[in-house]
Structure formats: structure tokens, C-alpha cells
């Protein structure tokens, strides 16, 4: 790969801000936007290098598109400041929109109630589409389908955050035992402006916070620490795409009573209508938390906590990725873990998504129509969100 041409932090921020305002469609679509913008047009990186970045971020837990963007910004500017500029530009637009929605969620009467009901119905369609698509790609054979089914049973029998984490861990172990088949040979070579020492520090911070925050929350009771712990854990343990964060966030916010189930689902539906990463749903949740911290401070706290583990992981893995991705055991564990998240998301499709949104046959008809528009009709998600919100308003009328 040719040596990258150094850019400026301002250039990186503005390029990603444009995408943060216009990139609809979820993480897979975002990767397509990135390829068009930074491989085809701006030529910040070549095809092989870009494929390498995508492979790394799909291997790691966290929001894949945001991690790819962070890595691209780091490469372009030659430092982690460039990565942070890319992250800020891509994340802030949707986060600010969702905070605005959170501030309006408590007022508006019957009209807003109908719109919010429509948003809960579209969440049913979106999560069903995610389960369908991920099952075909992440559990395409009997072995991985069995791992997904086992994870579903674990999530149903132990409907807690520990049960969900355990399901992913069991899936990874099952992958080590059962999924050691031949994988495609890795391609490309990636040279990054980060030392191995930087990588080790980032990985140490990732694991230190993952293990230390729950202990700190017990030793030093504080709602702020508990919020950081819940959102950090959700961001650290998500494999397979943005939608998989749903059950982890529900366990961390709805189960302890910080947020009502109806408000949670309405915000998740609204998150489908905005550009940028789905993880900005955390900003909405942070703004409506009870007890405090909430509002703008709560939104910033939750947003920072959910993205931090993914950014630490990609910083830590970049200097070692070219060697690690060739290890058969790592590839096998990843295949098992990815299959397990299909089962977790299937469990979440029923509870809380279906149980929190579907109340009668008309609700089923609206959700089914939205699902068909997304999967068969190929209609853009933001259009389906708008139509379903209007349908919810009509049902309320």
C-alpha cells in the first residue's frame, strides 16, 4: 500500500460531518458511503487497505462503521486526533437530533402519543429485518444455526445482562470447538501511525474499565458511575452490528427502572430515522434517565461511555491486526460469537420489541407492512419510519 498523504484535522472533521448529516441506512450502508468518499473520490486509502480496516472492525465488538471512520481519520491525519475528529463529525448530527427528540418526548398530548406508537411499530420491523439478514450471513449452516438457537435459549432462560454476555461467551467457545473450517485468506496490508506501546495502553484501558467499573459502582455508589458502567458494558460486548446493542441497553436502563419500556422503544424507533451511527441512541437514553444525571450532561455521558470501548479496541488492535487476523482460532471464535448474537437479537425481537409495541391486529398489519417495505420493497429506512409514524398517528385518531 502506498504511503498515505497526511491531511489536517479540519479536513477530516468536515469530510465526516458531511457523512454524519447524510449517511442513512445503518452500518453496512455507512461502509458503502465511506468507500465511495474515501477510496473512490478522495483516495485517502486504497481498496486493499480499506478492506483490511473493514475486516478489523467486523472482528472487534463495537459499532463497526464508527470504528472504520475512526481508523480512517487516524490514518489520514497521522494521529489519534484525526480519529477523534472523524468520530465527532460522524456522530454529533444524529446525537443532537435524538437529544432534541428526547426533550420533546414528554410533551405533546395525543398527537405525539400516536407518533411515538408508530415509532415503536417500526422498531418491530427494523429488528425483524436485522434478525433475518444477520441469520443468513452469520448463521448460514447447521452448526452456526445451532449456536444461534442455543444463545436464544440462554437469553430466554436468563433474561439479564449477565445472561446475554454469557451467551456471547458460550458462542465464542462453541466456535472454537465447532467452527474451525477454512476461512478466506486475508488480503491487504495496513500500515498505521500507532506504536505497539500505544496499542497495549489502549487495550489495558479497555479491559481495566470493563473489569473495574462494576467494582467501582459497588464500592462508590453513584448514579453517574452506574450509568457509565451500563453504557460502557453495552458498547464493549456488542458483536454483529448496531441493532445487537438493543438487548444490552434495555437490560442496563429499563430493567433497573431508569427508563420506561415505552420511552425506550419510541427512542429506538426514532433512531432509525436519523443519519449516522445507531449507537447515538445512547444520547436519547442519557437525556431522559431518571434519576440524574440526565439532560445534556446525561446524553454526553452515555454517548461517550458507549463509544469509548469500541474506539479503545480499534486503537489497541490496529498495530497488531495484520498478524492477529491470520490466526485460525481467532477466526473460529469470531464465527461462533457472531452466530450467538443472532440468537440474542431474536430474543430481543419478542421482548421488549414485540411485547412493547404490538397491542392488536392493526398494529401487526402496520409492522408487517413496514417489514415488507424494508426487505422486499427496498424502501429507505427513514422513509419507512416516517410512513409508520404517520400510521401510528392515524391509528391513534
The pLDDT tens digits for 86-131 are 999 999 999 998 998 888 765 555 666 677 778 778 778 877 877 7
Q: Is the separation of the CB atoms in 141 and 339 below 8 Å?
A: no
Helical spans, DSSP H, in the chain: 9-22, 27-34, 47-59, 64-77, 80-104, 109-138, 142-157, 161-178, 196-219, 223-236, 245-253, 261-271, 281-288, 295-317, 321-324, 328-348, 355-357, 361-375, 381-396
Q: Is the separation of the CB atoms in 64 and 308 below 8 Å?
A: no
List C-alpha distances in Å: 266 to 106, 113, 162.
Answer: 12, 10, 25
CA 200 to chain centre: 24
Question: Which residue do the cell numbers 456488542 mark?
Answer: 238
Which pLDDT score, from 0 to 100, does residue 3 have? 47
3-class secondary structure, 388: helix
The confidence band for 34, taking pLDDT boundaries of 50, 70 and 90, is: confident
Residue 190's closest CA among 370, 322, 329?
A: 322
Domain map of the chain by residue range?
A: 9-91, 94-396
Question: Which residue do the cell numbers 454476555 mark?
Answer: 165
Q: What is the pTM of this model?
A: 0.73
Q: Is the separation of the CB atoms in 154 and 320 below 8 Å?
A: no
3-class secondary structure, 385: helix
The pLDDT tens digits for 298-343 are 999 999 999 999 999 999 998 887 677 667 787 788 788 778 878 8
pLDDT of 239 higher than 70 = no
The confidence band for 13, taking pLDDT boundaries of 50, 70 and 90, is: very high
Q: Is the separation of the CB atoms in 257 and 72 below 8 Å?
A: no
The contacts of residue 301 (CB under 8 Å, 6+ apart) are: 224, 227, 228, 231, 286, 293
pLDDT of 58 higher than 80 = no
Amino acid at each position: 500500500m502506498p504511503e498515505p498523504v497526511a491531511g489536517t484535522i479540519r479536513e477530516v472533521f468536515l469530510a465526516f460531518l458531511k457523512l454524519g448529516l447524510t449517511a442513512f441506512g445503518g452500518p453496512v450502508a455507512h461502509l458503502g458511503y465511506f468507500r465511495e468518499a474515501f477510496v473512490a473520490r478522495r483516495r485517502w486509502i486504497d481498496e486493499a487497505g480499506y478492506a483490511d480496516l473493514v475486516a478489523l472492525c467486523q472482528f472487534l465488538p463495537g459499532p463497526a462503521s464508527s470504528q472504520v471512520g475512526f481508523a480512517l481519520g487516524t490514518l489520514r491525519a497521522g494521529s489519534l486526533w484525526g480519529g477523534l475528529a472523524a468520530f465527532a463529525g460522524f456522530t454529533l448530527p444524529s446525537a443532537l437530533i435524538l437529544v432534541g427528540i428526547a426533550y420533546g418526548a414528554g410533551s405533546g398530548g395525543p398527537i405525539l402519543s400516536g407518533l411515538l406508537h408508530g415509532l415503536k411499530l417500526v422498531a418491530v420491523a427494523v429488528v425483524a429485518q436485522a434478525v433475518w439478514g444477520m441469520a443468513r450471513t452469520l448463521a448460514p449452516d447447521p452448526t452456526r444455526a445451532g449456536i444461534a438457537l442455543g444463545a436464544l435459549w440462554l437469553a430466554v432462560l436468563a433474561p439479564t445482562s449477565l445472561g446475554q454476555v454469557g451467551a456471547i461467551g458460550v458462542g465464542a467457545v462453541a466456535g472454537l470447538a465447532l467452527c474451525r473450517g477454512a476461512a478466506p485468506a486475508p488480503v491487504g496490508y495496513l500500515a498505521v501511525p500507532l506504536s505497539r506501546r500505544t496499542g497495549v495502553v489502549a487495550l489495558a484501558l479497555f479491559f481495566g474499565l470493563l473489569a473495574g467499573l462494576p467494582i467501582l459502582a459497588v464500592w462508590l455508589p453513584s448514579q453517574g458511575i452506574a450509568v457509565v458502567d451500563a453504557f460502557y458494558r453495552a458498547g464493549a460486548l456488542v458483536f454483529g452490528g448496531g441493532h445487537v446493542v438493543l438487548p444490552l441497553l434495555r437490560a442496563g436502563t429499563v430493567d433497573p427502572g431508569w427508563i420506561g419500556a415505552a420511552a425506550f422503544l419510541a427512542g429506538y424507533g426514532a433512531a432509525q430515522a436519523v443519519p449516522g451511527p445507531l449507537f447515538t441512541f445512547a444520547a436519547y437514553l442519557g437525556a431522559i434517565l431518571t434519576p440524574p444525571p440526565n439532560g445534556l450532561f446525561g446524553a454526553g455521558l452515555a454517548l461517550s461511555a458507549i463509544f469509548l470501548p469500541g474506539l479503545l479496541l480499534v486503537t489497541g488492535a490496529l498495530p497488531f491486526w495484520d498478524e492477529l487476523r491470520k490466526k485460525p482460532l481467532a477466526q473460529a471464535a469470531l464465527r461462533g460469537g457472531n452466530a450467538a448474537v443472532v440468537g440474542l437479537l431474536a430474543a430481543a425481537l419478542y421482548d421488549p420489541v414485540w411485547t412493547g409495541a404490538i397491542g392488536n391486529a392493526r398494529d401487526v398489519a402496520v409492522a408487517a407492512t413496514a417489514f415488507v417495505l424494508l426487505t422486499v420493497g427496498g424502501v429507505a429506512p427513514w422513509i419507512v419510519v416516517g410512513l409508520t409514524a404517520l400510521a401510528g398517528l392515524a391509528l391513534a385518531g
